[in-house]
Amino acid sequence: MSRDRFHGRHENPGTICHAPGCEEAGEFRAPGARGPGFDGPGEWRWFCLDHVRQFNAGYDFFEGMSAEEILDAQSPVSGWRDSRAYSPTAGIDGAPRWADFDDPLEAISARARARRSDRERQWREEDRARRAGVSGEDARALDVLGLCVDADRQKLRSRYSELVRRYHPDRNGGDRSHENRLQQVVAAYQHLRRAGRFG
């Protein structure tokens, strides 16, 4: 049975329109009566173009449902089922674990590795900062500006100027998409320029 994707027409040889008294070919399907539990469309009904239009104009998905079933069907998580791959017992009961899925393009694992390496870099920088006697707040501000622990006042000023030029809307044709980043840079600079090490 081939299908005309653009019009919803199905070649269905020998099927007559289910509308009473109609002798046209039933080429358009419509949901039939549903069984208990409203799971799926039920049996399909077949109509000609005119009768499927009539059917669609008067169709009520919620017909025959109780108020609770209607509320459940309207819920944004209606039909959601927790995947066993994400459950705490994944792999124990024979269900595949998240790690068992193929990732041939490394779309998932590459992102995870990048995040892990970012976190590790940040931990190393914070560790070096602690050993150098830099507070956690100073270390975070240095990280925002992309400066090492041993940066001096001149490096602080030049890096601040570079980042302000990069993120300021006046330098980007009015593009304000980097405003949040610019605010972080300004706050980090204001904190560090008052810090004892740069005073």
Distance of CA 119 to the CA centre of its chain: 22
Angstrom distance (rounded) from CA 154 to CA 177: 28
According to the model, what pLDDT value does residue 21 have? 92
- Non-local CB neighbours of 190 within 8 Å, separated by 6+ positions: none
For the segment 175-180, the average pLDDT, to the nearest whole number, is 82
- 17 pLDDT tier (thresholds 50, 70, 90): very high
* Whether residue 27 has pLDDT greater than 50: yes
According to the model, what pLDDT value does residue 142 have? 85
> How large a percentage of the chain has pLDDT more than 90?
5
Which residues are 28's β-sheet partners?
47
Angstrom distance (rounded) from CA 135 to CA 82: 43
Angstrom distance (rounded) from CA 155 to CA 162: 10
According to the model, what pLDDT value does residue 22 have? 92
Which residues are 46's β-sheet partners?
29
Q: Per-residue b/e over 27-44, b at no fewer than 16 CB within 10 Å?
A: bbbbeeebeeebeeeeeb
- 29 pLDDT tier (thresholds 50, 70, 90): confident
Cβ atoms < 10 Å from Cβ of 60: 7
According to the model, what pLDDT value does residue 1 have? 46
According to the model, what pLDDT value does residue 130 have? 64
For the segment 181-195, the average pLDDT, to the nearest whole number, is 88
Is residue 121 within 8 A of residue 139, CB to CB? The reply is no
Is residue 1 within 8 A of residue 35, CB to CB? The reply is no
Per residue in 67-116, pLDDT tens? 888 887 777 655 555 555 555 555 555 555 656 667 777 776 777 777 77
Distance of CA 185 to the CA centre of its chain: 28
